[in-house]
Amino acid sequence: MSISRARARAIAGRFDQQKVLVVGDLMLDHYIHGHVSRISPEAPVPVLHVHREHSVPGGACNVAANVRALGGGASVAGVVGRDAQGEALLRLLRRAEIGTESVVRLSGHPTTVKTRVVAERQQVVRVDWERPAQLTAAQAREFARRLERAMDGVTAVVLEDYGKGVLSQAVVDAVHAAASRRGAPVGLDPKDNYALRFEGLTLAKPNRKEAFAHAGLVDPGPQADPMQDRALLNVASVLLEKWRPRLLMITLGAHGLLLAEPGRPPRHVPTRAREVFDLSGAGDTVIATCMLAIAAGADFHAAAELANYAAGVVVGKLGTATCTRDELLAYLARKD
């Protein structure tokens, strides 16, 4: 299975007519870059000489950033703190022309920040500042109202769960109801909210670890050929029954993707990556590309192929990254 260049160009040509709402955990990804030439005399740790530092939108924001990079319209709904980090994140989002009208700012709640210290191209350590969001009843009602308003003109919705407290059953149900009224597809990138019900999804995109966890099964380890991996295929069957998505896409890292649909045999899409520097945010790129393509009229397999190629682009970059429409089409043009 492989998408033709002409088909890819036709689908990508409709990206700018789509608008994707990303609902979930908003984060600021901060990077400190430098080089290491010695070990500290104080402790057996490297001494980093800092060259530069920068921040980019992370978590659910990175999904929206990927949608924008591919040419689609994007907005986010979630929670940030009334702090300098929250202001910095909102400023970055607005600069990228990502809608922030549905972002709730909470006093006393810290904006989630992930700081990665990088020596040359090697990540040395990651430092996280976070606390699960806890909305009062009034704040939850206000968030639901903002979600309803945010759905105007939306052609696809992504539920992006990083386990930081934004996605509750009420939020999931509100998104499903609003999307159903508008005929918009809904995609899910799950974490560890095992009690949440997600029935009726268009796309569910867990990675292997998440898939086994949500199925309640122990992973015995991957097989070389995913189509001969009985445990993986069984998990796919369990999740098709549990979530009832129209398409289940299990990302498998270096082994590509496993696609499963109700009533059809599963299919394997091999990885399209040529060089891997960093897997940070690759899953965000996959769901952003796939949902944007579905909204643009692509069938599931064409959407999955485009998402797989887009992931091949971003894993060749360092840090939380995006794939542009031009990069995607150029990368696909170089396929074997």
Q: Would you name the residues annotated as active-site residues?
A: 284
- What is 292-317 written as a DSSP string? HHHHTT--HHHHHHHHHHHHHHHTTS
> CA 146 from chain center: how many Å?
22
- CA dist., res. 8 & res. 5, Å (int): 5
Helix H, strand E, coil C: the string for 5-60 is: HHHHHHHHCCHHHCEEEEEECEEEEEEEEEEEEEECCCCCCEEEEEEEEEEEEEEH
Instruction: Give the chain's count of helices (H) and strands (E).
Output: 10, 13
- CA dist., res. 51 & res. 155, Å (int): 42
Decide: 110 and 83 in contact? Cβ < 8 Å.
yes
- CA dist., res. 316 & res. 278, Å (int): 7
Question: Which residues fall within 8 angstroms of residue 316, CB to CB, at 6 or more apart?
Answer: 273, 274, 275, 276, 277
Angle between helices 300-314 and 5-12 (to 10 degrees): 90
